[in-house]
Amino acid sequence: MKMKTYNPKILILSWLLHHANREWKDDHFYEVKNFILKKYGKLISYDVQYIEGKKCFSCGGTGIHYYYSSSGKAYDSDSCWCCYNGWYKRPTWNILKVIQFGKYTFHQPWQRVYEKPDINSPFIEGYIDHSPSKYGKRARFILFCLYEHGFIWRWYNMLGWGFALKWWLPKNYLNNIIYFHRHKKMYWNQLKDRFKPKYNYPPEMIDITDDLPF
- pTM attached to this predicted model: 0.63
Task: Note the pLDDT tens digit of each residue in 82-101.
Answer: 888 888 888 899 999 999 99
17 close to 35: Cβ distance less than 8 angstroms: no
Report the C-alpha gap between 149 and 146 in whole angstroms: 8
Question: 3-state DSSP call for residue 89?
Answer: strand
Helix (H/G/I), strand (E/B), else coil: 96: strand
Percentages of the chain per state (helix, strand, coil), in multiples of 5:
35, 25, 40
Q: What's the pLDDT tens digit per position in 155-203? A: 767 665 666 677 677 767 677 777 777 677 665 665 566 666 665 655 5
Identity of the amino acid at 120: N
Which band of pLDDT confidence, cut at 50, 70 and 90, is reported for residue 205? low
Q: Any idea where the domains of the chain sit in the sequence?
A: 1-47+97-149, 53-90, 159-194
